[in-house]
Structure 1
Amino acid sequence: MLEKSPSIRVLDLLIRGKPDLLDVDLHHLSYVKAPGKVWPKDARPLRKLRFLDLSFTKITKLKDLPTNLQVLHLRGYDADRVPQSITKLTNLRHLYVDGSALSKIQSIGQQTELQELESFIARRGQGFMIRELKNMREFTGRLCIRGIENIRSKDEAMEARLMDKKHVGALVIEGKRVPKFALEGLQPHTNIQELTIKFFQEQDFPDWVCPDNLVNLLQVNLESYHFLSTIPPLGHLPLLKLLTLRKLPSVKHVNGTSFGGFPSLEEFKLHSMEKWEEWTEPDAAAHAYGSSLFLGHLRKLHLAYCPSLRRFPHLPCLSALKELKISKPGSWILALPACSQVLSSLITLAVEYCNHNVVMSAQQFKSLENIKLIKSEGLRLADGFQYFGKLRSARVEGRPQLLSAITTSVSVGFGQDCCVAHDEKQQQEASLLTHLRADDSLMYGDYFRTVGKLPSLRNLTICNESNGTNFSVKQELWFQQQNSLEHLCIQGFHALQRLPSFLVTMLSIKILELHGLHGLQSIPDNALPLTFQEFNINNCTSCLSTRVSKDGADWPYVAHVPYIRVNGTTVQNL
């Protein structure tokens, strides 16, 4: 039938149901039935076809394609099923093929009208070398070049003519090893806005990696540079908004003046720079292009696995900062409690693996809505958890001493407004908190007195191992205060032998999830109230899984719950 349809403009053979026959609605065009495994022997009658999607179809012999195609989707096709005749589609502008298949298309450079190429893998051999990119000047989106280790000289790299591709918006350069001579020959046009370079294996960059040649850059990602010791002056890029530095193990010192002042930077991510010790203060000249503030527009700062960093320049002055995520920090974090202006503007705070003794006041975080504290033994609050006035979501795990008692001498350092003795305070509540995830340390010590009632709490997850076989009276009383709770998840309490009795009285709870409760053998009668809507059991004892099945001994006690799921299998869905 396709051979008799020369007027078709759009044909989509994505098979979702029947493998051999698909009805295609072509909107204002004619109604077409096309075989799902057979392609026409002669595609010339489809000469007006511009868009063709054959993704995940089962056509085994795909040979000639309509010559005037502009958009072609071949997702799910391996290299053996993609026809080499694809290079004859000289009008093709968009090609969507899986990376493994794309790398096997020989002489793809003949498709000079292509506007984007998800991945070009440079290889040795005719039709696969970097020179295939030479005449492809119409790129307008993202160009990703891999296999840089196969380029043998700067002159060979220059054959790609990247400087002529003035419409490329984003450039990715990577390989198992990126030598300096290859990178020297891959200088992009000055219009480039996003640049990613991975696995560069030299101590310093080519000369073109400088502000004068990259004046329009908005995003930079440098990753996996084993030998690089000096970071280029990225802080002098006037428009740079997002910078990611990841896995730079040889960087020890950063000169703040030469690195620059980042006049437009909004998001800064630094990860796995284990030897980085010093970032010196920039002088006034580093504040490029008239900006008087160092990192004055920074909204998101992520510092992960930089354990040797002693100081972060101008930390107290980052008044625009809204999100701070820290993991395994250096001693620079000791200065954070004194940065009241920074803390008061934060909306999101995440601290992981912090062993430094850091004491802060919840009342310093006047805007904080989200907090995550993971395995941070040294982090403490000088006042109660309830003093996070705008907190909406909290995750506290790893047995932190977050709410342990703080001596008066330490507390007074925050001033009378923040740290008055508990018995002189009017009881407050974290009235906006809706989501809380905590480990079993929530169940012990001073947490109940300091956390108190959470009037807006909707979702609560208690996780990690505990030796307790049941909930204590105090703990159950605390749960009963949370009368807005709708979703409760109890996870990883391996020794827990019975469900808490408060469940039957808390009619607000609609969803109960039990994960990894290896000591729980059964569900007693009347344990689950009639108001329950969902009951989910996963990775508990096989005995429990059997007892809550429809033929199990506990089925009468759970059958009133409309939706029941056990180990990923839906048992009931009413």
Structure 2
Amino acid sequence: MLFGKMDEGFVKIFGDFFGEAITLRVLHLPIMLCPVESMLHNFPGLVHLRYLCLGTSKSQMHLPPNISKFYHLRVLDLELWNGSRDFPKDMSNLAKLCHFYVPSDDQLHSEIYNVGKLKLLEELKVFQVNKNSEGFEPKQLKHLTKLREVEPGVEAVVLERLQPHGDIQVLCIRGHGGPSCPTWLGDDFTVEALQFLYLDGVSWDVFPSLGKAWDLRELRLEDITGPKEFIIEESFCMLIKLELISLGSFRKWLYPAKEGSSLGGDLLPLDTHMFPLLQVLIIRDCSKLLGFPFSNHIVSPDWFPKLQELEVLYCPEFSSVIPISWIESLCSVTMKSVKMLKEFTYSKSSNGAEVEIIGESDLHSIDQVLIFDKETCLEKLTLNRCPRLELKHLLMLTSLKTLFVFHSDALVGPLGGQGDVEWQLPIEHMRIWDLNGNSGEELTDLLPHLPKLSKLEIDECKT
């Protein structure tokens, strides 16, 4: 390696010194004052070069025409080249080239004739379709499968040319910066055998409707800011898993009405079968999503008749009221950082089913998040920072064995109103901690209805 400033006086010295250097692998000349052949007389013979950097401020200096003969070259750095742009036409001979760094205007990328032969190239900032009669056709991009950095216009052409065969079943598109989805995934939908579709970080203004994806089983949309609506297609009838993650503008669901039908829009009839086979629904980090498309945000069991797992995380505007009859048909429910709830979990195990609710300050009634529409099989209920249980709730907890109530204003509401009807709960273990209401009086009213109670824990409660 040589350091320091050099002028024309060094040319002859280095020419003699490097006369026998025929196995160079790296050549770094970012500030050239004269043609490289003047310093390296055997420059055309450096066929073992892996890295070549050339730079100059002299506008009349030409690129060496024999660059295209360095067949082993991996990196060509012309970022500091301000000389003539007479680019060798046969640059596509550099079949092993991975990185080609160019000046800030990126125009040297557009000069590569038959760029499709550079199958290992990882960056292509500019590609002008049909710039000349040949060598710049869209098909040139078809085999550039290693590209990591391209401009949006180039990305659109690349993805359009990468049309998969019609029998493809799994498709993942990540980080595509083009303005719209490829036509083969949109209006001219040709991947009709598609079963698994994952779209991550795409910046499309025009999104695929997927109305023809009748065999789709899994759909994952992640880190996409464009769409404000999620269109529920009839073709989702086979969908088993749906993941909607970090959709920054997503606010509501939309069902397109058929011609002559009144069904469609923001709110759907409760008996609408939109996802008849869906088993897993995951929604995360959708900060503007308001909830499910039902009146009063009450979840319709008919909408998800086969659902087993529901997860809604970090969606602060999301509001949902879940019937206990529907919850018990699922295996697990997890909701965190949604409207009125810090956390809501439902799970099943060998010890039975349990629900834990951690409320926020705007939760004023259990009915705002959970509807006790039937006698429940819950065996454990944990309420943290929640409103009091009312008599109508207690009468539905006919299987409850464990009740924990923490950091709340009260334990239960008034227990009158049932006339002479006797009622009892099978609670065996109850713990109350940090209650601010008249917990002593409430407990006195409740205990006669708990004949099986064997363990009672009371901590830091006001009486």
In the superposition, relative to structure 1, how do residues 97 and 380 fare at CA in structure 2: closer, same or farther (>3 Å)? farther
Give the Cα–Cα distance (whole angstroms) in 2 for the partners of residues 70 and 309 of structure 1.
Answer: 58
Task: Summarize the alignment of residues 535-550 of structure 1 with structure 2, pairs less than 5 Å apart.
Answer: none
1:105 equivalent to 2:109? Answer yes
* Paired position in structure 1 for 2:164: 189
**Counterparts of residues 30-69 of structure 1 (less than 5 Å):** 40-41=36-37, 43-49=43-49, 51-52=50-51, 59-60=55-56, 63-64=63-64, 65=67, 67-69=69-71
Amino acid at match of 1:135: Q
The aligned residue for residue 274 of structure 1 is 251
Structure 1 gaps, min length 5:
14-33, 152-156, 163-170, 172-184, 367-372, 383-401, 430-443, 447-574
Tell me the TM-score normalized by structure 1.
Answer: 0.43
Superposition pairs of residues 153-168 of structure 1, within 5 angstroms: none
How far the C-alpha of 1:326 sits from its partner, in A, is 3.7
Equivalent AA in structure 1 for residue 234 of structure 2: T
Q: Computing the radius of gyration over CA atoms, which structure comes out larger, 1 or 2?
A: 2
Alpha-carbon distance in structure 2 between the residues aligned to 1:301 and 1:108:
44
Secondary structure of the residue aligned to 1:106 is: helix
| TM-score, structure 2 normalization | 0.50
Q: Is the CA contact (8 Å cut-off) linking 1:247 and 1:271 kept in structure 2?
A: yes
Partner of 2:327: 339
Contact 1:93 1:113 in 2 (8 A): no
2:87 matches 1:85:
yes
Question: CA shift at 1:44, angstroms?
Answer: 1.6
Alpha-carbon separation, structure 2, partners of 1:242 and 1:52: 41
- For 1:231, the aligned partner's letter is S
Report if aligned partners of 2:128, 2:136 keep a CA contact under 8 Å in 1: no
Contact 2:71 2:95 in 1 (8 A): yes
Asked whether the 8 Å contact 1:255–1:280 carries over to 2, the reply is: no
Letter matched to residue 164 of structure 2: H
Q: How far did residue 46 of structure 1 move?
A: 1.6
In 1, are the aligned partners of 2:92 and 2:112 still within 8 Å (CA)? no
Distance 1:130 1:307 in 2: 51
Mapped contact 2:333–2:345 kept (Cα < 8 A) = no
For residue 242 of structure 1, give the secondary structure of its aligned residue in structure 2: strand
**Does residue 262 of structure 1 match 2:251?**
no
Report how far residue 407 of structure 1 moved. Answer: 0.5
CA contact (8 A) 1:319 1:342 kept: yes
Q: Quick one: structure 1 residues 248 and 364, their matched pair in 2 at CA, closer, same or farther if it must change by over 3 Å?
A: same
- 1:293 corresponds to 2:277: yes
Task: Return closer, same or farther for 1:218/1:200 CA change in 2, 3 Å cut-off.
Answer: closer
1:527-553, CA deviations, whole angstroms, 9 ceiling, x for partnerless residues? xxxxxxxxxxxxxxxxxxxxxxxxxxx
Select the structure with the greater relative contact order (CA < 8 A; seq sep ≥ 6). 2
Per-residue Cα deviation, 1:402-453 (whole angstroms, up to 9, x for no partner): 9434202287477734644559867799xxxxxxxxxxxxxx998xxxxxxx
Shift of 1:106: 2.7
* SS of match in other structure, 2:227: coil
The CA distance in 2 between the partners of 1:281 and 1:90, in whole Å, is 64
Verify: 1:248 aligned to 2:227, yes or no.
yes
The code of the aligned residue for 2:69 comes to T
Could you tell me which residue of structure 1 aligns to residue 260 of structure 2? Answer: none
Q: Distance in 2 between matches of 1:268 and 1:340?
A: 24
1-side partners of 2:307 and 2:146: how far apart?
Answer: 34
**CA positional deviation for 1:143:** 7.2
Contact 2:129 2:138 in 1 (8 A): no
Q: How far is the alpha carbon of 1:236 from its aligned partner? A: 3.5
For residue 257 of structure 1, what is the amino acid of its counterpart?
E
Shift of 1:69: 3.9
Kept in 2: contact 1:118–1:143 (CA 8 A): yes
Q: Check whether the contact 2:277–2:305 (CA below 8 A) recurs between aligned residues.
A: no
Letter in 1 for 2:46: L
- In the alignment, structure 1 residue 96 sits paired with structure 2 residue 95: no
1:114 counterpart = 2:135: no
- Match among 284, 289, 295 for residue 306 of structure 1: 289
State the SS of the aligned residue for 2:140. coil
Which amino acid counterpart does residue 244 of structure 2 have in structure 1? F
SS at match of 1:112: helix
Q: Equivalent residues in 2 for 1:145-184 (5 A)?
A: 146=151, 148=153, 171=159
Partner residue, 2:315: 327
- Paired with 2:429 and 2:81, the residues of 1 have a C-alpha distance of 70
Deviation at 1:91? 2.5
Query: For residues 472-483 of structure 1, what are the structure 2 equivalents within 5 Å?
Result: none
Question: Residues 325 and 233 of structure 1: is their aligned pair in 2 closer, same or farther, counting only changes over 3 Å?
Answer: farther
Q: How many residues align?
A: 334
2: distance between equivalents of 1:144 and 1:201?
A: 18
Q: Which of 139, 142, 163 is matched with 2:144 structurally?
A: 139
Q: What residue identity is the alignment partner of 1:105?
A: H
Alpha-carbon spacing, 1:194–1:52, altered in 2? closer, same or farther (3 Å): farther
Q: Residues 271 and 234 from structure 1, CA distance in 2 versus in 1: closer, same or farther, beyond 3 angstroms?
A: farther
Preserved contact between residue 218 and residue 240 of structure 1 (Cα < 8 Å) = yes
Q: 1:105 to 1:362 in 2, by over 3 A?
A: closer
Please say if residues 289 and 317 of structure 2, whose CA atoms lie closer than 8 Å, have aligned partners that are also in contact. Answer: yes
2:210 paired residue number: 232
